[in-house]
Chains A and B, each alone.
Chain A
Protein backbone atom coordinates (compact mmCIF):
# COMPACT_ATOMS: atom_id res chain seq x y z
CA UNK A 1 0.00 0.00 0.00
CA UNK A 2 1.13 3.52 -0.64
CA UNK A 3 2.14 5.73 2.25
CA UNK A 4 3.74 9.13 2.73
CA UNK A 5 5.52 10.12 5.92
CA UNK A 6 6.42 13.64 6.89
CA UNK A 7 8.15 13.16 10.21
CA UNK A 8 8.51 16.86 10.96
CA UNK A 9 5.25 18.11 12.38
CA UNK A 10 6.37 21.69 12.92
CA UNK A 11 9.48 23.67 12.06
CA UNK A 12 10.28 27.20 13.14
CA UNK A 13 13.09 29.24 11.58
CA UNK A 14 14.22 32.82 11.43
CA UNK A 15 13.96 34.69 8.17
CA UNK A 16 16.84 34.08 5.73
CA UNK A 17 17.60 30.66 7.16
CA UNK A 18 17.55 27.67 4.84
CA UNK A 19 15.09 24.94 5.76
CA UNK A 20 14.52 21.40 4.48
CA UNK A 21 11.23 19.58 4.72
CA UNK A 22 11.50 15.81 4.67
CA UNK A 23 9.25 13.39 2.83
CA UNK A 24 9.58 9.60 2.77
CA UNK A 25 7.25 7.47 0.71
CA UNK A 26 6.33 3.81 0.32
CA UNK A 27 5.01 2.20 -2.83
CA UNK A 28 5.21 -1.13 -4.63
CA UNK A 29 4.84 0.44 -8.05
CA UNK A 30 7.82 1.22 -10.23
CA UNK A 31 5.96 4.08 -11.87
CA UNK A 32 4.60 6.76 -9.59
CA UNK A 33 4.39 10.51 -9.10
CA UNK A 34 5.41 12.66 -6.18
CA UNK A 35 4.02 16.08 -5.38
CA UNK A 36 4.42 18.97 -3.00
CA UNK A 37 1.56 21.28 -2.12
CA UNK A 38 1.55 24.43 0.01
CA UNK A 39 -1.32 25.43 2.28
CA UNK A 40 -0.89 29.02 3.48
CA UNK A 41 -2.86 30.40 6.44
CA UNK A 42 -5.64 31.42 4.03
CA UNK A 43 -6.38 27.70 3.61
CA UNK A 44 -6.19 26.92 -0.07
CA UNK A 45 -3.93 24.14 -1.38
CA UNK A 46 -1.41 25.31 -3.94
CA UNK A 47 0.42 22.93 -6.26
CA UNK A 48 4.20 23.37 -6.20
CA UNK A 49 5.81 20.49 -8.07
CA UNK A 50 5.26 17.06 -9.60
CA UNK A 51 7.99 14.49 -10.17
CA UNK A 52 7.73 11.11 -11.86
CA UNK A 53 9.64 8.09 -10.67
CA UNK A 54 11.89 7.97 -13.72
CA UNK A 55 13.23 11.46 -13.30
CA UNK A 56 15.65 11.74 -10.40
CA UNK A 57 17.08 15.06 -11.45
CA UNK A 58 16.95 17.65 -8.75
CA UNK A 59 14.87 20.68 -9.55
CA UNK A 60 15.30 24.30 -8.60
CA UNK A 61 12.72 27.02 -8.89
CA UNK A 62 13.87 30.29 -7.46
CA UNK A 63 14.42 29.77 -3.72
CA UNK A 64 12.77 26.34 -3.85
CA UNK A 65 14.59 23.12 -4.64
CA UNK A 66 13.66 19.48 -4.52
CA UNK A 67 15.87 16.44 -3.99
CA UNK A 68 14.44 13.13 -5.20
CA UNK A 69 16.32 9.97 -4.18
CA UNK A 70 14.80 6.64 -5.09
CA UNK A 71 17.45 4.77 -3.13
CA UNK A 72 16.09 6.20 0.11
CA UNK A 73 12.50 6.73 -1.10
CA UNK A 74 12.73 10.38 -0.26
CA UNK A 75 11.57 13.57 -1.92
CA UNK A 76 12.82 16.46 0.21
CA UNK A 77 12.02 20.11 -0.25
CA UNK A 78 14.43 22.92 0.58
CA UNK A 79 13.63 26.59 0.88
CA UNK A 80 16.69 28.80 0.64
CA UNK A 81 16.77 32.16 2.39
CA UNK A 82 13.32 31.66 3.87
CA UNK A 83 10.85 34.53 4.06
CA UNK A 84 7.86 35.21 6.28
CA UNK A 85 5.58 34.56 3.29
CA UNK A 86 6.86 30.97 3.20
CA UNK A 87 5.00 30.29 6.45
CA UNK A 88 2.49 27.56 5.61
CA UNK A 89 1.75 23.89 5.94
CA UNK A 90 3.53 21.87 3.27
CA UNK A 91 2.20 18.54 2.10
CA UNK A 92 4.01 15.80 0.24
CA UNK A 93 1.83 13.42 -1.79
CA UNK A 94 2.14 10.26 -3.85
CA UNK A 95 0.16 8.94 -6.82
CA UNK A 96 0.74 5.46 -8.12
CA UNK A 97 0.50 4.48 -11.76
CA UNK A 98 -2.37 2.59 -13.29
CA UNK A 99 -4.61 5.51 -13.99
CA UNK A 100 -6.25 5.68 -10.59
CA UNK A 101 -5.27 9.33 -10.15
CA UNK A 102 -5.57 8.96 -6.39
CA UNK A 103 -3.29 11.12 -4.25
CA UNK A 104 -2.16 9.98 -0.84
CA UNK A 105 -1.00 12.86 1.33
CA UNK A 106 1.41 13.02 4.21
CA UNK A 107 0.27 14.67 7.43
CA UNK A 108 2.01 17.90 6.50
CA UNK A 109 4.78 20.00 8.02
CA UNK A 110 3.88 23.37 9.47
CA UNK A 111 6.63 25.87 8.71
CA UNK A 112 6.79 29.13 10.61
CA UNK A 113 9.26 31.74 9.43
CA UNK A 114 9.81 34.43 12.02
CA UNK A 115 11.01 37.93 11.12
Chain B
Protein backbone atom coordinates (compact mmCIF):
# COMPACT_ATOMS: atom_id res chain seq x y z
CA UNK B 1 0.00 0.00 0.00
CA UNK B 2 1.18 3.53 -0.73
CA UNK B 3 0.51 4.75 2.80
CA UNK B 4 -1.35 7.90 3.73
CA UNK B 5 -1.03 10.48 0.99
CA UNK B 6 -1.29 14.19 1.66
CA UNK B 7 -1.28 17.07 -0.75
CA UNK B 8 0.11 19.57 -1.20
CA UNK B 9 3.37 19.04 0.68
CA UNK B 10 3.92 22.76 0.99
CA UNK B 11 1.45 25.60 0.76
CA UNK B 12 2.21 29.29 0.94
CA UNK B 13 -0.71 31.65 0.93
CA UNK B 14 -1.67 35.13 1.96
CA UNK B 15 -3.80 36.03 4.92
CA UNK B 16 -7.48 35.91 4.08
CA UNK B 17 -7.17 33.27 1.39
CA UNK B 18 -8.90 29.92 1.50
CA UNK B 19 -6.66 26.89 1.99
CA UNK B 20 -7.63 23.29 1.30
CA UNK B 21 -5.51 20.38 2.45
CA UNK B 22 -6.15 16.90 1.10
CA UNK B 23 -5.68 13.41 2.42
CA UNK B 24 -6.05 9.91 1.05
CA UNK B 25 -6.02 7.30 3.84
CA UNK B 26 -4.73 3.77 3.59
CA UNK B 27 -7.28 1.59 1.87
CA UNK B 28 -9.43 -0.35 4.32
CA UNK B 29 -8.76 1.92 7.28
CA UNK B 30 -11.89 2.97 9.12
CA UNK B 31 -10.49 5.94 11.01
CA UNK B 32 -9.02 9.19 9.74
CA UNK B 33 -7.40 11.88 11.86
CA UNK B 34 -6.26 15.43 11.26
CA UNK B 35 -3.48 16.85 13.45
CA UNK B 36 -1.68 20.15 13.62
CA UNK B 37 1.93 20.47 14.78
CA UNK B 38 3.48 23.70 16.00
CA UNK B 39 6.53 24.43 18.10
CA UNK B 40 4.43 26.01 20.82
CA UNK B 41 1.63 23.46 21.12
CA UNK B 42 3.16 20.28 19.78
CA UNK B 43 0.88 17.75 18.09
CA UNK B 44 -2.79 18.52 18.48
CA UNK B 45 -5.70 16.42 17.29
CA UNK B 46 -8.11 18.59 15.35
CA UNK B 47 -10.80 16.13 14.29
CA UNK B 48 -11.29 12.48 13.54
CA UNK B 49 -13.70 10.42 11.46
CA UNK B 50 -14.96 6.88 11.75
CA UNK B 51 -16.42 5.38 8.58
CA UNK B 52 -16.56 8.85 7.05
CA UNK B 53 -18.56 10.31 9.97
CA UNK B 54 -16.99 13.04 12.14
CA UNK B 55 -16.76 11.70 15.68
CA UNK B 56 -14.90 14.38 17.60
CA UNK B 57 -14.15 17.86 16.35
CA UNK B 58 -13.45 19.41 19.73
CA UNK B 59 -9.89 20.19 18.66
CA UNK B 60 -10.89 22.36 15.72
CA UNK B 61 -9.69 25.79 16.76
CA UNK B 62 -12.53 27.89 15.41
CA UNK B 63 -15.20 28.21 12.78
CA UNK B 64 -12.65 29.09 10.15
CA UNK B 65 -11.65 25.41 10.13
CA UNK B 66 -13.79 22.72 8.58
CA UNK B 67 -13.19 19.12 7.59
CA UNK B 68 -15.06 16.71 5.38
CA UNK B 69 -14.80 13.09 4.38
CA UNK B 70 -17.11 12.53 1.41
CA UNK B 71 -15.97 8.93 0.94
CA UNK B 72 -13.66 6.33 2.44
CA UNK B 73 -10.69 7.36 0.32
CA UNK B 74 -10.65 11.13 0.61
CA UNK B 75 -10.76 13.88 3.21
CA UNK B 76 -10.21 17.62 3.19
CA UNK B 77 -9.32 20.18 5.81
CA UNK B 78 -10.28 23.69 4.86
CA UNK B 79 -9.29 26.99 6.43
CA UNK B 80 -11.29 30.02 5.38
CA UNK B 81 -10.12 32.71 5.82
CA UNK B 82 -6.56 31.79 6.70
CA UNK B 83 -4.51 33.75 9.24
CA UNK B 84 -0.75 33.85 9.97
CA UNK B 85 -1.30 31.96 13.23
CA UNK B 86 -2.56 28.99 11.21
CA UNK B 87 0.98 28.42 9.95
CA UNK B 88 1.91 24.90 10.99
CA UNK B 89 2.44 21.39 9.71
CA UNK B 90 -0.84 19.56 9.24
CA UNK B 91 -0.80 15.79 9.39
CA UNK B 92 -3.38 13.30 8.32
CA UNK B 93 -3.35 9.80 9.81
CA UNK B 94 -5.43 6.70 9.32
CA UNK B 95 -6.04 3.64 11.46
CA UNK B 96 -7.60 0.25 10.85
CA UNK B 97 -9.63 0.67 14.01
CA UNK B 98 -10.16 -1.64 16.88
CA UNK B 99 -9.71 -5.01 15.26
CA UNK B 100 -6.77 -6.97 14.02
CA UNK B 101 -3.07 -6.95 14.55
CA UNK B 102 -2.72 -3.23 13.83
CA UNK B 103 -5.41 -2.27 16.31
CA UNK B 104 -5.24 1.38 17.33
CA UNK B 105 -2.08 2.10 15.37
CA UNK B 106 -2.22 5.36 13.47
CA UNK B 107 -0.21 5.71 10.28
CA UNK B 108 0.74 9.22 9.33
CA UNK B 109 1.11 11.00 6.04
CA UNK B 110 4.15 13.14 5.27
CA UNK B 111 2.31 16.30 6.30
CA UNK B 112 1.51 19.62 4.67
CA UNK B 113 3.63 22.58 5.71
CA UNK B 114 1.38 25.62 5.60
CA UNK B 115 2.71 29.16 5.68
CA UNK B 116 0.24 32.01 5.85
CA UNK B 117 1.86 35.37 5.14
Interface residues of A (CB under 8 A from B): 33, 35, 37, 43-47, 50, 91, 95, 99-108
Interface check B19, CB cutoff 8 A = no
B42, B48, B107, B111: the one contacting A105 at CB < 8 Å is: B42
User: In the complex, are the beta carbons of B48 and A101 less than 8 A apart?
Assistant: yes
Interface check B34, CB cutoff 8 A = no
20 A-B residue pairs with CB within 8 Å: A43-B110, A43-B111, A45-B111, A46-B108, A47-B105, A47-B106, A47-B107, A47-B108, A50-B103, A50-B105, A101-B33, A101-B104, A101-B106, A102-B45, A102-B56, A103-B45, A104-B45, A105-B43, A107-B42, A108-B43
> Quick one: which of B89-117 are within 8 Å of A by CB?
89, 91, 93, 95, 97-98, 103-111, 113
What 15 additional pairs, Cβ within 8 angstroms, besides A101-B104, A102-B45? Answer: A37-B108, A43-B110, A44-B108, A44-B109, A44-B110, A45-B111, A47-B105, A101-B48, A101-B98, A101-B106, A103-B45, A104-B45, A105-B42, A106-B42, A107-B42
| Interface size of B in residues (CB-CB distance below 8 Å) | 25
Interface residues of B (CB under 8 A from A): 31, 33, 42-43, 45, 48, 50, 55-56, 89, 91, 93, 95, 97-98, 103-111, 113
User: In the complex, are the beta carbons of A95 and B104 less than 8 A apart?
Assistant: yes
User: In the complex, are the beta carbons of A101 and B50 less than 8 A apart?
Assistant: yes
Complex formed: what's the CA distance from A45 to B95 in Å?
14
